[in-house]
Amino acid sequence: MKKVAIIMGSDSDFPVVSKAVTKLKEFGVPYEVHVMSAHRTPDAAIEFSGSSKKNGFGVIIAAAGMAAHLAGVLAAKTTLPVIGIPCKSAAFDGMDALLATVMMPTGIPVATVAVDGAANAAILAIEMLALSDDTLAEKLEKMKADMEEGVAKKDEAMQLKVAEL
């Protein structure tokens, strides 16, 4: 099975990124987590990305706040899919990171999830890997069925509350 790389621009992004780690663990997907900065360690980020495919990765998740150039820098040096997680910051509540992550030039795509949307980034990475892994595909189908069942139970409980009014 291919690994997922989770790269964060700062260790302060870990509370967000931890949700992606938890989701990958749930699905049994191997991963590595690293801190690299598009601005402070660009050579390390470029080197990592450029060798990511030969090092057994199938998808890269990049989490960064504020200027949030990390996902784009990583995407520039690989043909692997890159998923960006814009992280909330104090100044613009994550809008700055969202715009920086989503506004990529033609030829350097970055799939972007919601601000602080690490769990969805992991699920999207798993969906990408599941294209060639039937076991992962089955686990995703079970997750969707469990979510459907959970909503049905909530609706059932809501009907009881409404009937009591």
Q: Mean pLDDT, the chain, as a whole number?
A: 97
| Residue 90 in this model has a pLDDT that exceeds 90 | no
Mean pLDDT on 98-103: 96
Strand ranges (E), 17-163: 31-35, 57-65, 82-87, 111-112
| Residue 104 in this model has a pLDDT that exceeds 90 | yes
| pLDDT score recorded for residue 150 | 97
Q: How far apart are CA 63 and CA 13, in angstroms?
A: 7
Q: How far apart are CA 104 and CA 102, in angstroms?
A: 6
| pLDDT score recorded for residue 24 | 98
Backbone CA torsion sign across 19, 84, 64, 89: negative
| Residue 31 in this model has a pLDDT that exceeds 90 | yes
Q: How far apart are CA 45 and CA 77, in angstroms?
A: 9
On the CB side of 106, how many CA atoms lie within 13 Å of its CA?
Answer: 0
Mean pLDDT on 137-157: 98
Mean pLDDT on 150-158: 97
Q: List the one residue out of 128, 163, 123, 130 whose CA is nearest residue 146.
A: 123
**Are 94 and 127 spatial neighbours (Cβ–Cβ below 8 Å)?**
no
Confidence of residue 91 (pLDDT cuts 50, 70, 90): confident
| pLDDT score recorded for residue 138 | 98
pLDDT tens across 107-124, in order?
A: 999 999 999 999 999 999
**87: how many CB neighbours lie within 10 A of its CB?**
28
- Record the pTM: 0.94
Mean pLDDT on 97-116: 97
Q: How far apart are CA 118 and CA 126, in angstroms?
A: 12
**What are the distances in angstroms from CA 72 to CA 112, 115, 152, 157?**
11, 16, 40, 45
